[in-house]
Amino acid sequence: MIKKKLTQKELAERLKLSQQAVSKALRGDKEISPKTQQRVVKMARELGYRGNKLARANIDGKTAIVGVLFPTYSGQFFARIIDTIEDGLHRLDFNALLCKWRLDSASDDQSSSTLRQYQVEGMIIIPRPVISWSQSIYKPLLDCGEKIVFLNEKVD
């Protein structure tokens, strides 16, 4: 049976601490004593508390997510690249959000828009071969400051 998700507020009430103190304890903030941190972490584990990264991102603006936009995930070539990307991101405490574009449509525009809606902190893209770079969907992304690494494509 799946239990209702325990909120940080409920955890704080059980511990008779402020929600802010519980939040800081769970993040390892030095303002909270080691003894209190241990108490908070122990109860959080016992009660199955899971943090809410989306709520955290609303506070500090950091999602720790990098968007990956590829033409496909199948085949040894792409699988090895994605594995390498995910391993590298994991070492930096980041996660990958995968999207793909299809050869039969202009879905890379829709997929890059989806990645931006998730507030990715950057993108790794194997771009669709374009006739004119100035007409591609990637130029406006770069112009507005998106952090993008292009694989297999030279960019001006």
CA distance 78 to 101: 13
What pLDDT is attached to residue 100? 84
pTM of the entire structure?
0.71
Radius of gyration of the chain (CA): 20
Residue 32's pLDDT is: 94
Q: How many helices (H) and strands (E) does the chain have?
A: 7, 4
Report the chain's terminal Cα–Cα distance, integer Å: 55
Host H or E run for residue 65: strand 65-70
Q: What local confidence, expressed as pLDDT, does residue 38 receive?
A: 95
pLDDT in tens, the chain (156 residues): 556 788 899 999 999 999 999 999 998 899 999 999 999 999 999 998 988 777 777 777 788 999 998 888 888 988 899 999 999 999 999 999 998 877 666 667 788 888 888 889 999 988 776 656 555 777 788 888 889 898 876 666
User: Among candidates 144, 145, 136, which has minimal Cα distance to 154?
Assistant: 136
